[in-house]
Structure 1
Amino acid sequence: MRALEIHGVQDLRIVDRPAPDPGPGQVQICVEWGGICGSDIAYWRRGISGTAVMAHPFVLGHEVSGHVRAVGEDVSGLAEGLPVTVHPARTTGPLPTRLAGRDNLHPHLTYLGSAAQDPHTDGGFAELITVDAAQVVPLPPGLDTRRAVLAEPLGVAMHAVRRAGDVHGAHVLVAGCGPIGLLVIVAARAAGAARVTAVDLAVPARERALAAGADEALDSAEDMDPSITVAFEASGAPASLDTILRSISRASVVVQVGNLPPTPISVSLGQVVSKEIDYRGTYRFVAEIEDAVELLARDDLAEHVISHELALEDAAAAFTTQVSDPTSSKVVLRIG
């Protein structure tokens, strides 16, 4: 089978690998679509994603969808031909009591397409993958595998919105309209937000935000509407966070969705105290991917997140498009 390995900075290779047969409790999946994520780009550009450093080649990708090809022993409820997506996380051992319900923070967690562990965890950019049956998420009727490739990042967005608390009837701000920011707009709408203001410096991103459900799209969060009480910082830019903290109303909630740099940054935090701002982090998701497929099945707004489709053999061009084309948003690979 073909798989997309990364061997170094800007060194992607299509390689032949043996197909991984499913063992007991496992499922083999024919992967049809793969979405390129910011972490994939980070490995490609620098060999590092967050604190994870690539030490040897591995298969990229954790946003995938396709069909069940085979099931191992002791697997029930999943059959050959079933359209599915995959929860990329796998945990080992019990979750500490204080983290109950927050499996995304499990101290022993592996993620598809990650160099956080050594040996690295191979990802889903391959014609066939084998995962635990518990990681397989069947698609509801009406959801095709192309749109379902957005289930993992939409799960991230839905988790971020839940971290904000009840947004029903609220006026929310989403700063940074890349793929995750756009999906936060979709998730906030689904959670009952009354109005969504999007912010991005790029015109194409603002246009895509309006298509994805934002009521207005601005180039700055300065002079923020005082009715905004919830903000999602999805760009990972310290200047964006600084502007939000300075501009947002008292007693508001700010959720940090975008990955901030791992080095010290300059942000004025005095407003967190004087305005009693709740500043919250959000990391991946727990089980929101199951809710994500249901939302994708009934709402087509997320379609506006996908900007380009390229074949697996054109992966290098796909990665270049993701970082250099000003009109790009979510670039997806046709794998199978």
Structure 2
Amino acid sequence: MIKSHALKIQNAGASMEHSVIERRELRKHDILIDIRYSGICHSDIHQGEGDWGEAIFPMVPGHEIAGIVAAVGSDVTKFSVGDRVGVGCFVDSCGECDYCLAGDEQYCTKGVVQTYNSLDYDGQPTYGGYSQNIVVTDRFVVRIPDKLNMDVAAPLLCAGITTYSPLKHWNAGPGKKVAIVGMGGLGHLAVQFAHAMGAEVTVLSQSLSKQEEAYTLGADHYYATRDQDTFSKLAGSFDLILNTVAANLDVNAYLSLLRVDGTLVNVGAPSKPDTYSVFSLILARRSLAGSLVGGIRETQEMLDFCAEHGIAPMIEVIGADPEEVQHAWERVKQSDVRYRFVIDTEQLNGN
């Protein structure tokens, strides 16, 4: 087994602590990655604190992983030692069902194996990117373009693909009016993607505090949702609304902002159910939808798109001390970060 220093959570809501975990020895199609950076995703916090129900402990969070190939299995041909690579939310799937064959591994009918808080097909728990290294099947590894720094590449492996995939799927582009709900870790990337795709972009945020940043990132318009006049001014305006916030909203109010045949897509995941009136849908043939990240092929496409268009998250790099990471989690819960934390995992050691 391969030893790896990591940050571990012993049980739901417990404080983070240093630990040593074991990674499997390389199989024929495996890649050993020395992790350089691991992004902090709000879902790490939800799962580490048990907000989403039963979880597997001890837990090593992290599914926004950027690193360097340290070794490859005997049948690996696409990657070599020294390559700059990334790993996102999933590390295995059946590879045989209709969705896997179509490049939508996230919807695998056998059940995709998540990067952490999951069981692999051998029944062993998976451990994530808050660690020194990871062993991953080669078809779940993506290449980080040279134009992307590795620290900014890490959050793209979840936050980036989570927003890129639905914008592409629902045809954000020239002639389309797109609203982004929330100007946070997901939203500030969604603004950049929608702008680069050619859409007219509006940000809907609680206050005007992030207005100038939104314009800098490519927004055409910005409205505060605390101002109730916003909903009357913008009624029936948008072809697509991407909701990035992990809180319960007045769904009917946001549906009213859609044109006929418009779609409200949710990528944020609040812990409590939303409610809405079906009349908010049927009176204008509107749709309410959701989207789960993207497949591996699309994730590589997203990284290449970022490199081509100069898209990158705004980040704050922190050390790998357990207390520092725990403090970052608290700041995320308070929305006190512009806009993503990234852990420098090279600082992990045996101390």
**Same fold flag (TM > 0.5):** yes
Could you say which residue in structure 1 is the equivalent of 2:263?
Answer: 253
8 Å contact kept, 1:256–1:282: yes
Could you say which residue in structure 2 is the equivalent of 1:23?
Answer: 27
Could you say which residue in structure 2 is the equivalent of 1:282?
Answer: 291
8 Å contact kept, 1:125–1:335: yes
Could you say which residue in structure 2 is the equivalent of 1:125?
Answer: 130
Does residue 107 of structure 2 align to residue 102 of structure 1? no
Deviation at 1:73, TM superposition (A): 1.1
Pair 1:205–1:301, CA change in 2 (3 A): farther
Could you say which residue in structure 2 is the equivalent of 1:212?
Answer: 217
Cα displacement string for residues 39-66 of structure 1 (whole angstroms, at most 9, x for unaligned residues): 101123x3233x5x22420211000101
Pair 1:116–1:73, CA change in 2 (3 A): closer
Deviation at 1:150, TM superposition (A): 2.6
8 Å contact kept, 2:9–2:15: yes
Does residue 245 of structure 2 align to residue 235 of structure 1? yes
Pair 1:76–1:100, CA change in 2 (3 A): closer
Corresponding pairs, count:
329
How far apart, in 2, do the equivalents of 1:298 and 1:93 lie? 30
Pairing 1:299-318 to 2, within 5 Å after superposition:
299-304=309-314, 306=315, 308-313=316-321, 314-318=324-328
Pair 1:207–1:13, CA change in 2 (3 A): farther
How far apart, in 2, do the equivalents of 1:82 and 1:98 lie? 25
Does residue 167 of structure 2 align to residue 157 of structure 1? no
Which residue, out of 88, 111, 115, partners 1:112? 115
How far apart, in 1, do the equivalents of 2:335 and 2:261 lie? 39
Q: Which runs of 5+ in 1 are unaligned?
A: none
Deviation at 1:268, TM superposition (A): 2.6
How far apart, in 2, do the equivalents of 1:6 and 1:87 lie? 20
Pair 1:202–1:24, CA change in 2 (3 A): farther
Deviation at 1:190, TM superposition (A): 2.5
Does residue 334 of structure 2 align to residue 324 of structure 1? yes
Cα root mean square deviation, aligned:
2.4
Deviation at 1:29, TM superposition (A): 0.6
8 Å contact kept, 2:51–2:271: no
How far apart, in 1, do the equivalents of 2:107 and 2:24 lie? 28
How far apart, in 2, do the equivalents of 1:34 and 1:268 lie? 40
The code of the aligned residue for 2:310 comes to D
Pair 1:199–1:97, CA change in 2 (3 A): closer
Pair 1:140–1:247, CA change in 2 (3 A): closer
The code of the aligned residue for 2:300 comes to E
How far apart, in 2, do the equivalents of 1:60 and 1:72 lie? 25
Cα displacement string for residues 144-196 of structure 1 (whole angstroms, at most 9, x for unaligned residues): 21121132121111111123235332111111222112222122122221x11
Deviation at 1:251, TM superposition (A): 2.4
Deviation at 1:225, TM superposition (A): 5.9
Deviation at 1:241, TM superposition (A): 2.6
How far apart, in 1, do the equivalents of 2:307 and 2:125 lie? 33
TM-score w.r.t. length of structure 1: 0.89
Percent identity reads 22
